[in-house]
Amino acid sequence: MSLFKSIFDKPWDYQGEDPSLKGKELAEGMHPKRIALRMFLAVVFVLFMLFIIAYFIRMDLDDWRPMPEPGLLWVNTGMLVICSIFMQWTRGAAQKNMSQQVKWGMLAAGIFTLAFIFGQLSAWEELNNAGFYLSSNPANSFFYVLTGLHGLHILGGLWVWTRSTFKVWSGIEIKAVKLSVELCAVYWHYLLLVWLVLFGLLSYT
Amino acid sequence: MAYIPIADQTDEMHDPHSFITKYVWSQDHKVIAIQYGGIAIAVGLIALGLSVLMRLQLGYPEDFAFIDPADYYQFVTMHGMIMVVYLLTALFLGGFGNYLIPLQIGARDMVFPFMNMLSVWVYLLSVIILLASFFVSGGPTGAGWTLYPPQSITGGTPGADMGIVLMLASLAVFIVAFTMGGLNYVTTVLQARTRGMTLMRMPLSVWGIFVATVLGLFAFPALFVAAIMMTFDNLLGTSFFLPAMVSLGETLDHSGGSPVLFQHLFWFFGHPEVYIVALPAFGLVSDVLSCHARKNIFGYRMMVWAIIAIGGLSFIVWAHHMYVSGMNPYFGFFFAFTTLIIAVPTAIKVYNWVLTLWEGNIRLTVPMLFACGFIFTFIHGGLTGIFLGNVTVDLPLSDTYFVIAHFHMVMGVSPVLVLYAALYHWFPKMSGRMFNVTLGKIHFWATFFGTYAIYLPMHYLGIMGLPRRYYAMGTTEFLPDSAQALNANITLAAIWVALFQMVFIVNIIWSTFKGKKADPNPWEATSLEWFTPDNPPKHGNWGHELPTVYRWAYEYSVPGVKADFVPQNMAPEDVVMEDPNAKYVGHDG
């Protein structure tokens, strides 16, 4: 890593402008928004990792009663996978400047995301009707908190999605939203990954 | 983005003109920095007032009828939380981070100015929520700044109904604000440095703030997780942290939860938090010491590596705050070991500061006085940390005034002295005016001796066994009457210190409006912020062309050079030598 290598520089040795930085401009691959998103995903990783560690610690205590997962969750997982596929497809379309595909791709991804959210809410309702209340067992509490937190992250993503989709449909040049589409796709893949980990955790414990 | 922050800007600058866009909804990092600083100092003054009330009660337990035990615990809690999170974290990172990062790396602004503005307003919201808890029924929480459950959310603890809810909400909002700011600082340092500004040419202030921000981004989620789970326990009846218990004669609905789990989460945030405050202080004080000693910082690379090493180690020492909670002895051994290892990079930094002063051409200006004061208080507080890092020594001392003395020296007084050093050092840049030097010196000596008068005796009281967290000491067999006399003296010293902080406030306010116009580079410093075309710098910082950096920020007293400093942005051919035939080659020549 260049970051790691550069901390061995001897700043008092070399006098003069660093030739490697001559006329440095924002290279495409180094856009600040990309760096910020990666950093943010790292923060989200720490957040969920801490919850998962807390989950394992709490699970070891006596009163833990595993909770059955409604079959609906498999359907919801499917929805989220479809979202990711659409996002990836849209990202590719944006690279190739295909505005029709980007329009419909974004819209489809959003619709399936909303379907996922409603699916999750129905799963909550199903569990609640079956008597698995939030506070009746720590396993239930973790289920609601983790799915809720994941849902909130999705909603946060939808806010950015709304802005980008609005721009796409208002006829803006695809070049101007290419980065937003790409970042949306990365964020959606990441949340799919988080969901798969959470779903696995909730199902097998 | 309105413009790319590292590019030259050839078209006309668009300064915001109306009062609202210039000073209120401003996206200029310098205005945001001052907003952060103003809010932090205001809320810090409230915390200062609370500490005086606490000391009045402790020094004269019979005389202040209006302070009852519940009040006392509320004062303690709010004082601690405000000072650590809402003052120190916000002022170092939100204040100095915002002000110095773009100026010292040669950027026009933060890379996401809008998010930066959002950050300060969300921070203000968190402060308002926090202060609102003074006005709800039951008052603010009195659970101690660590907010340990179950007592923080069960009956009998002051503020257990609304106070704790507001506290947790305020912390969650603060974390959101910090994350928005933090992503900005990290990305700006990585992506918006000007030509020639390699990572290893950055002033240590930027390094300290940068690494502290990374720590904050990864540590605050732990507090966020703990706050969410505790809110659920409190409001929705879950049992993440709450075991089965009887409270005030009533059996609660909770069962099976683990209070120690909260402690792990809290301290996984809480220990890095110490370094979130300390690392920017280390960075800022390095720059102040080097500049006012007219000498390059001793061991620049070691300083950077030590900052990184301390940052990394700070994530694997958290349980040394929990020795008294009980743990597997092997864990105790591990955490004592890692804790004592941190002394190595920290000691490297202290030696390097002292060696920077060695044979320097020291100018005892007001910022330099504060920076030197910091070296004293930091060594002092650091040494008692070595005592407390050992399990067997910590156990008897943990609940005594020794601990209060330790952490106030090391992360209360020391960072505050650096804050003053930095505020005085950069005040001429921020306001364009000079502060009153006499008042500054009075402020320093009163604060330096005053804080020693407060905390030095506390070490002895602690070793004697005086317990902390008590509302009044009463009479015990092992404490002589003189202990109470000492306590009363500490209170007088605390009032003295609090009063003299007003000298600073008056000085700053008066100087901002009436002070002498400052030279653009009054300290003859080398780093970029002193070479802006305007003083104080305008929106966009650099006029049309960004500065080019040719060297590090510590080129002081270079042999053969006429001036005793060479700015970072001065081209080698422009450096004037004493001998007109000599060629400038820097320190190595």
**A125 found inside a domain:** yes
Residues B235/A141, Cβ–Cβ less than 8 Å: no
Residue A204: predicted pLDDT: 82
Distances (CA, A) of B398 to A198, B337, B427: 39, 18, 40
Alpha helices in B237-328 (DSSP H): 259-292, 300-313
Nearest to B508 by CA among B569, B430, B446, B583: B430
Q: Quote the domain boundaries for residue A80.
A: 70-203
Count Cβ atoms within 10 A of the Cβ of residue A83 and give its class: 0-12 exposed, 13-18 middle, 19 or more buried: buried
Q: Which residue has the higher pLDDT, A98 or B449?
A: B449
**A80 found inside a domain:** yes
**A120 found inside a domain:** yes
Residue A13: predicted pLDDT: 74
Residue A205: predicted pLDDT: 78
Give me the residues of A, 122-141, that contact B with CB < 8 A.
Answer: 134-135, 138, 141
**A124 found inside a domain:** yes
User: Does pLDDT of A22 surpass 50?
Assistant: no
Distances (CA, A) of B366 to A68, B279, B436, B442, B516: 67, 22, 10, 10, 16
What is the total count of domains within chain A?
Answer: 1
Give me the residues of A, 146-165, that contact B with CB < 8 A.
Answer: 149
CATH of the domain at A81: 1.20.120.80
Residue B1: predicted pLDDT: 32
Which residue of A11, A23, A30 is in closest CB contact with B191?
Answer: A30
> In a 3-state reduction of DSSP, which class is residue B430?
helix
Number of residues written out for chain B: 589
Question: Is the confidence metric ipTM above 0.95 for this complex?
Answer: no
| Residue of A39, A65, A142, A145 to mutate, testing the B interface (most B Cβ within 10 Å of its Cβ) | A39
Which domains does chain B possess? 30-241+254-574 (1.20.210.10)
Contacts of A113 (CB under 8 A, 6+ apart): A79, A80, A83, A154, A157, A158, A161, A188
| Residue of A31, A43, A160 to mutate, testing the B interface (most B Cβ within 10 Å of its Cβ) | A43
Q: Is 0.80 surpassed by the pTM of this model? A: yes
Alpha helices in B192-203 (DSSP H): none
**A18 found inside a domain:** no
**A27 found inside a domain:** no
| Residue of B6, B180, B183 to mutate, testing the A interface (most A Cβ within 10 Å of its Cβ) | B183
Residue B16: predicted pLDDT: 67
Nearest to A144 by CA among B210, B438, B237: B237
A204 touches chain B (CB under 8 A): no
Which residue of B186, B229, B550 is in closest CB contact with A39?
Answer: B186
DSSP string covering B169-186: HHHHHHHHHHHHHHHHHH
Residue A26: predicted pLDDT: 47
Rounded-to-integer distance, Cα B57 and Cα B72, Å = 8
Residue B4: predicted pLDDT: 47
Minimum mean pLDDT range among A1-5, A177-181, B35-39: A1-5
**A86 found inside a domain:** yes
Contacts of B107 (CB under 8 A, 6+ apart): B5, B6, B101, B188, B192, B193, B194, B541
Contacts of A184 (CB under 8 A, 6+ apart): A87, A106, A109, A157, A160, A161, A164
- Please judge whether B225 and A47 are an interchain contact, meaning their C-beta atoms are less than 8 angstroms apart: yes
**A15 found inside a domain:** no
Low-confidence ranges of chain B (pLDDT < 50): 1-5, 589
